[in-house]
Chains A and B, each alone.
Chain A
Amino acid sequence: MSAQSKAIALTLAVLLLGGVYVADYLGFWVTESTKEPAKYTDGEFAGSYNPADIRGSYSFEDVANAFEISVETLADAYGIDATDYTAAEFKLNQLEIVYPNLGEDVELGTGSVKYFVALYTGLPYEDEGDGLPLRGIDILTEEGKIDDAKRNELLAIAIDLSLYQTSDETSSPTTETSENEVEEEKIITGNTTIQDLYNFGLTDDILTEVLGEIPATKSMSLRDFCTEKGLSFSEIKATLIEKIDH
């Protein structure tokens, strides 16, 4: 007799096949990505997908399926190299992994993609607090999605991802050589303070030349100063990096 083996075989078969049947009946048996954001329920855009509902678990492909934007455009805007990741499969919550050194105040994640997609597609979007990649803003300009006034406004929240793309350029905090440590400290991010700029060797004269004045509060972040004075953080940052390099 092999009653016990029979009992195990039947129990497992019923459990697995029956379980799948029940899960299917209850709607849990989802075997493919069906990533669809919620739709606007009223107004001019009722029935269209709402970028505000894009999730971190969506891939570029999921976003491209729901909105009039291509995977290539998204990959280009966010500096995703197709040799490291299959751009289509790249998930939005991987952005934080690809760009870990942006600084505490700098937000470049799902919120940024939502905003970018909204700008690209012309769909209404309210939460405009996230940063945008500089390349993304260039794409919006090149493709006529935004006017000059909007571009200037967006440059204040631009993040130049080319500065962070390779470990040579960003020097991760664990880099061992002291030469690289100096380089790493000189990276300007959203939470770099005015005092940090002095520490990088910049003088009052240079700050006056670039910023137009010497900021009174040394602990203030450069980004806050730029926002307050209506300056473009990314442009100021680029100029300051040039000065530091000299």
Chain B
Amino acid sequence: MNKFSFRKITQFIFFAIVLIVTYAKNAVELGLPTIPWIDGLSLHAICPFGAVETFYTLITGQGMINKIHESTIVMFVLVTAGAVLFGSAFCGFICPLGTIQEWIGKLGKKLFPKKYNKIIPQKLDVKLKYLRYVVLAAILYFSSTTLKLVFADYDPYYALFNFYAGEVTITAIAVLAVVLLSSLIIERPWCRYLCPYGVILGWFNKIRIFKLSRNSTTCIDCKKCDRVCPMNLKISDKKSVTSTSCISCMECTSERACPVEDTLVMKMGGVK
């Protein structure tokens, strides 16, 4: 298996970018040492999910809710364009909250090699994944009725990059702590069960231009793809991976886990 991973490098780079620009902004406000040449940005200004939160107020002509700016809409459009091409690849390649869960998961795999990512029974796992829709519906409802960025008070992503800046609620820090701790035993718990943006991007897996496709004639049914999937998806009996939970990490494909060349690959239009 090829150890070198473009995905992991991309994850690292985007994590670093977000860390640096949010620090640059907080540093100016908190009087901490600043970073020369770097313009600080608020996390709200670069998180594409903000556009979803302000969707209702935008279409009803009420403008954007507090703290959301034009840049948020730009990010949303760009990430959506990426999702049309590669489904939820933003989750697997870019999102820093996904990345940090993966990093902690690496430690978890070492600490609990037998139990890691196997403690939630499959039936319960399937049910818990619906929580993502509940979180999404609640956010849409409360942001459109209060015109405030209500989710910021619970958002672990915001807490991750701003916990030292004082503006973060205890609730958000608690959510972050629970997410990071449970990452030791469950792979990407936030993405899997709660992320409201992940579920939106996940829907693009059904319509994406480049689909993950399995060639059933060359597949030797070794089920290696199923075993490596961080989201515990069953791939070995599918023609295409269209699950909303797939994060497009490419770990299952012929360039990583699948031992047969050109068997599990990304294909334009997928396999009919």
> Chain A: residues with CB nearer than 8 A to chain B?
1-6, 8-13, 15-16, 19-20, 23, 28-33, 55-57, 59, 85, 89, 91, 93-94, 97
Q: For A5, what are the chain B residues with a Cβ–Cβ distance below 8 Å?
A: 5-7, 250, 253, 255-256
Contact (Cβ within 8 A) A93 B41: no
CB distance from B134 to the nearest CB of A (A): 23
Which of A3, A15, A20, A94 is B147 in contact with, Cβ under 8 Å?
Answer: A94
Please measure, in the bound complex, the distance between the C-alpha atom of A8 and the C-alpha atom of B247, giving whole angstroms.
Answer: 13
With A2-B6, A29-B71 given, is the CB distance from A8 to B66 under 8 Å? Answer: no
Contact (Cβ within 8 A) B62 A56: yes
Q: For A16, what are the chain B residues with a Cβ–Cβ distance below 8 Å?
A: 75, 78-79, 82, 94
Contact (Cβ within 8 A) A23 B71: yes
CB distance from A114 to the nearest CB of B (A): 15
Q: For A59, what are the chain B residues with a Cβ–Cβ distance below 8 Å?
A: 66
Chain A residue at smallest Cβ distance from B249: A5
Dominant secondary structure at the A interface: helix
CB distance from A212 to the nearest CB of B (A): 42
Q: For B90, what are the chain A residues with a Cβ–Cβ distance below 8 Å?
A: 12
Please measure, in the bound complex, the distance between the C-alpha atom of A6 and the C-alpha atom of B89, giving whole angstroms.
Answer: 12
Interface residues of B in 62-78 (CB under 8 A from A): 62-67, 69-71, 73-75, 77-78
B266 touches A (CB below 8 Å): yes
B86 touches A (CB below 8 Å): yes
Which of A2, A8, A57 is B64 in contact with, Cβ under 8 Å?
Answer: A57
Contact (Cβ within 8 A) A28 B74: yes
With A5-B5, A9-B9 given, is the CB distance from A57 to B256 under 8 Å? Answer: no
Q: For A85, what are the chain B residues with a Cβ–Cβ distance below 8 Å?
A: 148
Q: For A8, what are the chain B residues with a Cβ–Cβ distance below 8 Å?
A: 6-7, 86, 89, 93, 248, 250, 266
Q: List 30 A-B contacts (CB under 8 A).
A: A2-B255, A4-B255, A5-B5, A5-B250, A5-B256, A8-B93, A8-B266, A9-B6, A11-B86, A12-B89, A12-B90, A12-B93, A12-B94, A15-B82, A16-B78, A16-B79, A16-B82, A19-B78, A20-B75, A28-B70, A29-B74, A30-B71, A55-B63, A57-B64, A59-B66, A85-B148, A89-B67, A91-B63, A91-B66, A97-B145
